[in-house]
């Protein structure tokens, strides 16, 4: 009892929860999914194996993995009428706006997987969302550049298929670069789940009312869009371009330290990590691999690495334990792959969908779960007498 309100034993109703999916030790920079370290998963597993792990709690054996992959592949196409949505958007609509609209609208098509009381429908909606997010995302990109939508290709892996739908065109065969497909797969793994972050908490809160999973994931996409959260990867690249040259870094670091200046170093700091974000390490290594494979010399990478070096030695950042997070290097990789900034957070949403839906499923299947009802500390006028307008 805090003197303000009694602690509610049914703590799920205050937005906090128990979970067995992801463990983070922010002080030690540890991230594990169902007990497996993110470094191991990023290096040794593929994204669909991690999806299986997050949903079922175990890494799949070969037969389980092949069946899961086949099941997901069978859901990669979207209802043909969903194509009509895109024509209703402006060509210059932000792709995250299209994702919010299109994913929410999936509940207008897939009525056979919106009954959350049915375990099979819960699973089918999870498979549909994991399978269709890359298709919906690639369609948003194609629409923005006036190119025809590309259908999924069942002969390709999840990440190969995503790249083919993004960059393939009907007039010629698209050859997927295996190094880029592996890099994309690893990036999806790094973004797959992250415990009770803002967007996952949004999905849980929306789902606690019994809303259908497509609507809940659309709510998660909306929350992820913010620059303090998933929108940071897009904001990092804008910041690196604004800095422009390593000689300008000290000025920006000073701006970030100035409490009167709203500027923050995008891609730095974290609500939980007070040590290096383990995902950022893998992302930086992937960044070097992709730029080497594509033979890209990006001066923004030089700016990013020098910014990290300077910030890591700066007393303010050391004292406040501010390190690069998952978003710091991802944008440089996406840029090298030819993905526009406006699509960076969309890729984060594609990856995070499995985390959202695994956490949603865990909550729905928890018999003690109640509708979410975060508490407040009321600090307003407790009671006042009404005044007629002439007396106000």
HSE-up of residue 154 (Cα within 13 Å, Cβ side): 9
Rounded to a whole number of angstroms, the minimum distance from the CB of residue 310 to ligand SDX is 13
Q: Does 189 bind ligand SDX (CB under 6 A)?
A: no
Q: Can 193 be counted among the known catalytic residues?
A: no
185 near ligand SDX (CB under 6 A)? no
Name the closest residue to ligand SDX (Cβ).
269
User: Where does this chain touch ligand SDX (CB under 6 A) — which range of 15-23, 203-211, 261-269, 359-367?
Assistant: 261-269
Residue 105 φ/ψ, nearest 5 degrees: -75, -15
Q: Does 373 bind ligand SDX (CB under 6 A)?
A: no
Decide if residue 114 touches ligand SDX (CB under 6 A).
no
In the chain, DSSP assigns E strands to 22-25, 30-33, 36-37
Q: Based on CB atoms, which residue is closest to ligand SDX, 41 or 156?
A: 41
Upper half-sphere CA count for residue 197 (Cβ side, 13 Å): 26
Judged by CB under 6 A, the stretch of 73-81, 83-91, 168-176, 258-266 that binds ligand SDX is 258-266
Stretch of 6-14, 108-116, 266-274, 383-391 contacting ligand SDX, by CB under 6 A: 266-274
Residue 23, strand partner residues: 32
Which two structure tokens, joined as six digits, stand for 97? 């706006």
Q: Does 359 bind ligand SDX (CB under 6 A)?
A: no
Among 241, 320, 370, 375, binds ligand SDX (CB under 6 A): 320
The Cα-based distances of 256 to 267, 314, 338 in angstroms read: 12, 12, 29
Q: Which is nearer to ligand SDX, 126 or 351 (CB)?
A: 351
- When the beta carbons of 122 and 270 are compared against ligand SDX, the nearer one is 270
Instruction: Find the catalytic residue in 194, 327, 366, 381.
Output: 327
Report yes or no: 154 and 179 within 8 Å, Cβ to Cβ: no
Q: For residue 266, state whether it binds ligand SDX (rule: CB under 6 A).
A: yes
Active site residue 245: no
d(C-alpha 251, C-alpha 243), whole Å:
9
CA separation for the pair 190, 60 (Å, rounded): 19
DSSP 168-211: -BTTB-----HHHHHHHHHHHHHTS--SS-HHHHHHHHHHTTT-
Candidate list 75, 193, 270, 277, residue with the active-site label: 270
For residue 282, which phi and psi values (nearest 5 degrees)? -65, -35
Query: Could you tell me which stretch among 102-110, 147-155, 159-167, 319-327 binds ligand SDX (CB under 6 A)?
Result: 319-327
Is 318 a binding residue for ligand SDX by CB under 6 A? The answer is no
Q: How far apart are the C-alpha atoms of 392 and 385, rounded to whole Å?
A: 12
User: Residues in contact with ligand SDX, total (CB under 6 A)?
Assistant: 20
Q: What is the dihedral of CA 375, 376, 378, 384, to 10 degrees?
A: -70
Options 185, 234, 308, 327; binder of ligand SDX; rule CB under 6 A: 327
Position 326 contacts ligand SDX (CB under 6 A) = yes
| Rounded CA separation 367/118 (Å) | 14
From the list 101, 267, 331, 372, which residue makes contact with ligand SDX (rule: CB under 6 A)? 267
Q: Which residues are the active-site residues?
A: 270, 327
Q: Which residues bind ligand SDX (CB under 6 A)?
A: 194, 197, 228-229, 232, 256, 264-272, 320, 322, 325-327
């Amino acid at each position: 009892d805090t003197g303000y309100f009694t602690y509610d034993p049914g703590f799920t109703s205050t937005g906090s929860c128990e979970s067995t999916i992801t463990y983070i030790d922010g002080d030690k920079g540890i991230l594990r999914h169902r007990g497996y370290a993110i470094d191991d998963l990023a290096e040794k597993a593929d994204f669909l194996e991690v999806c299986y792990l997050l949903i079922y709690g175990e890494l799949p054996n070969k037969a389980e993995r092949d069946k899961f992959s086949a099941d997901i592949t069978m859901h990669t196409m979207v209802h043909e009428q969903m194509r009509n949505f895109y024509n209703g958007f402006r060509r210059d609509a932000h792709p995250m706006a299209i994702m919010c609209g299109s994913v929410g609208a999936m509940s207008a098509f897939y009525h056979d997987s919106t009954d959350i009381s049915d375990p099979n429908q819960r699973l089918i909606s999870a498979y549909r969302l994991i399978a269709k997010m890359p298709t919906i995302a690639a369609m948003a990109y194609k629409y923005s550049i006036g190119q025809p939508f590309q259908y999924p290709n069942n002969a390709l892996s999840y990440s190969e298929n995503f790249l083919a739908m993004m960059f393939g065109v009907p007039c010629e065969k698209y050859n997927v670069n295996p190094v880029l497909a592996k890099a994309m797969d690893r990036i999806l793994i790094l973004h797959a789940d992250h415990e009770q972050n803002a967007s996952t908490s949004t999905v849980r809160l929306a789902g606690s009312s019994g809303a259908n999973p497509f609507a809940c994931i659309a709510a998660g996409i909306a929350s992820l869009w913010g620059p303090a959260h998933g929108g940071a990867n897009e904001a990092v690249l804008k910041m690196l371009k604004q800095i422009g040259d390593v000689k300008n870094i000290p000025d920006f670091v000073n701006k970030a330290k100035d409490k009167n200046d709203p500027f923050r170093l995008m891609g730095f700091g974290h609500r939980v990590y007070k040590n290096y974000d383990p995902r950022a390490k893998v992302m930086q290594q992937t960044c070097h691999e992709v730029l080497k494979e594509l033979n890209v010399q990006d001066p923004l990478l030089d700016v990013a690495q020098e910014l990290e070096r300077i910030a890591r030695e700066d007393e303010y950042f050391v004292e406040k334990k501010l390190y690069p997070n998952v978003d710091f290097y991802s944008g440089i990789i996406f840029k090298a792959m030819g993905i526009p900034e406006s699509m960076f957070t969309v890729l984060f949403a594609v990856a995070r969908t499995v985390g959202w839906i695994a956490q949603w499923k865990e909550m729905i299947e928890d018999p003690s779960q109640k509708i979410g009802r975060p508490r407040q500390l009321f600090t307003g006028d407790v009671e006042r007498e009404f005044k007629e307008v002439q007396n106000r």
